[in-house]
Amino acid sequence: MNPANSRKMTARLQAATASGHPILVRLSSASGHGMGTALTERIAQKADVFAFLFDQLGMAASTEASKKP
């Protein structure tokens, strides 16, 4: 698939929304369809989606080390 198609669709979504919130598009030449994607690439995809979601929800990262007095 031509990556320009995804970029065009993203631009159309941005133009069509009145919310002012960003549209997430993630393009990767290393991924396939379903089981054709390596585990490391699937993990990276999920990490990107969660990072975007957490940013949009205003969630801060916390660790066990930061909770200790």
Looking up tokens 């919130």, which residue turns up? 21
Structure tokens at 7: 């970029």
Question: What is the per-residue pLDDT for 27?
Answer: 80
CA dist., res. 29 & res. 6, Å (int)? 13
Which pTM value belongs to this model? 0.66
Looking up tokens 């990107």, which residue turns up? 48
Asked if residues 41 and 28 have their Cβ atoms less than 8 Å apart, the reply is yes
Residue 13: pLDDT above 60? yes
Residue 65: pLDDT above 60? no
Q: How confident is the model at residue 31 (pLDDT cuts 50, 70, 90)?
A: low
Looking up tokens 């929800």, which residue turns up? 57
Residue 45: pLDDT above 80? yes
Mean pLDDT of the chain: 82
